[in-house]
Amino acid sequence: MLAATLLAAAAIALKPPVSVVQFTRSAVLRSAAATAAGALAAAAQAAPPPEMLLREAAAQAAANEPKVLYTPPSVKGASTPDELALAQYLKKKGAKFYGAYWCPFCTKQRAMFGATGVRALPYVECAPDGFGAQRCPPEVTGYPAWEIDGKFFSGMKTLPQLQSLSGFDAAVVFPAPPPPPPPPAMPPGGFKQPAVTEPSTPEQVQLATHLKQSGAVFYGAYWCKYCRLQARPHTP
The CATH class of 81-166 is alpha beta
CB 112 within 8 A of CB 79: no
CB 134 within 8 A of CB 101: no
Q: What is the dihedral of CA 183, 185, 187, 189, to 10 degrees?
A: 60
Give the pLDDT confidence score for residue 20 in this predicted structure: 45
Give the pLDDT confidence score for residue 104 in this predicted structure: 94
Give the pLDDT confidence score for residue 181 in this predicted structure: 83
Q: Where are the domains of the chain?
A: 81-166, 202-231
Contacts of 135 (CB under 8 A, 6+ apart): none
Give the pLDDT confidence score for residue 63 in this predicted structure: 65
Nearest to residue 139, comparing CAs of 119, 124, 118? 124
Give the pLDDT confidence score for residue 106 in this predicted structure: 97
Q: What count of residues does the chain have?
A: 236
186: helix, strand or coil:
coil
Pairing of β 96-99 and β 123-125: parallel
- Distance CA(93)–CA(15), nearest Å, equals 104
CB 95 within 8 A of CB 133: no
Exposure b/e, 137-159, CB count within 10 A at least 16 = b: eeebeebbbbbbeeeeeeebbeb
Give the pLDDT confidence score for residue 83 in this predicted structure: 97
DSSP string, 93-144: HT-EEEE-TT-HHHHHHHHTTHHHHHHHS-EEE-STTBTT-----TT--SSS
- Distance CA(79)–CA(130), nearest Å, equals 25
- Distance CA(115)–CA(127), nearest Å, equals 22
Give the pLDDT confidence score for residue 96 in this predicted structure: 98
- Distance CA(121)–CA(97), nearest Å, equals 7
194: helix, strand or coil:
coil
3-state secondary structure 12-27: HHHCCCHHHHHHHHHH
Give the pLDDT confidence score for residue 162 in this predicted structure: 97
Give the pLDDT confidence score for residue 103 in this predicted structure: 95
Q: Which amino acid is at 197?
A: T
Give the pLDDT confidence score for residue 232 in this predicted structure: 67
CB 106 within 8 A of CB 124: no
The tens-digit pLDDT sequence of the chain (236 residues) is 555 554 444 444 555 554 444 446 666 557 666 666 666 566 556 566 777 777 777 777 666 666 678 999 999 989 999 999 999 999 999 999 999 999 999 999 999 999 999 999 999 999 999 999 999 999 999 999 999 999 999 999 999 999 999 999 999 999 887 787 888 888 888 888 788 888 888 888 889 899 899 999 988 888 787 787 787 665 44
Give the pLDDT confidence score for residue 59 in this predicted structure: 72
